Amino acid sequence: MQAAATIVFHNIRPRLNTKQTETIAMNLVLVTDLRAAALLMVAVLGCAHGGPASAARLQTGEQVYQDVCQTCHASGLAGSPKYGDEATWDALLAEGQTVLTAHGWVGVRAMPPKGGKPDLKLEEFARAVAFMARAGGADWQDPDPAMLADIKVEIDKRIAALKAEPAAE
């Protein structure tokens, strides 16, 4: 495109005054820049969707909490365990990180599955649980691959139990 524009420009160049030449030159620069900008955007968007880098870009527990969980948990809305309320979290923490994370992921009564954010990854959700648990007095860390595997087993158990007995808690 740039080459073609340059040829046209050279052909009409002798008939133009300085002002017109400047204007056309500016436009050529603009066209070229826009094309470069478009290519850059395609490259950037390409990286953001899929690609090896995206797996590393999981949200932190705090980010997920701010983005999703705090809607309810900051104030204890709908009977949710309130963020930072150690007395409430005490009993939940006793269930253990694996079980509590799995149950939250599947959903408990007014607690929607995945916190109501279906595109959340299990690892991100688990980090958010750990983040809230720490505010509730626990020393839970972001889950490692072994714990994530255990959580998945618990999730399957929970789903099976709910299917067998819908009222199971």
| Interacting residues with ligand HEC (CB under 6 A) | 64, 68-69, 71-73, 77-81, 92, 100, 103-104, 108-112, 115-116, 125, 128-129
**Closest separation in Å from C-beta 1 to ligand HEC:** 48
DSSP state of 56: G
Quote the least distance from Cβ 145 to ligand HEC, whole Å.
Answer: 19
Q: How far is CA 19 from CA 5, 70, 85, in A?
A: 18, 59, 71
The distance of Cα 27 from the centroid of its chain, to the nearest Å, equals 40
* Nearest residue (CB) to ligand HEC, 13 versus 157: 157
What Å distances lie between residue 104 and 9, 64, 81, CA to CA? 66, 14, 11
Measured from the CB of residue 75, what is the shortest distance to ligand HEC in angstroms?
10
Q: Name which of 4 and 91 has its Cβ closer to ligand HEC.
A: 91
Number of H helices, E strands in the chain: 8, 0
Name which of 32 and 66 has its Cβ closer to ligand HEC.
Answer: 66
Q: How far is the CB of 140 from ligand HEC (least distance, A)?
A: 11
Is there a contact between 106 and 158 (Cβ–Cβ < 8 Å)? yes
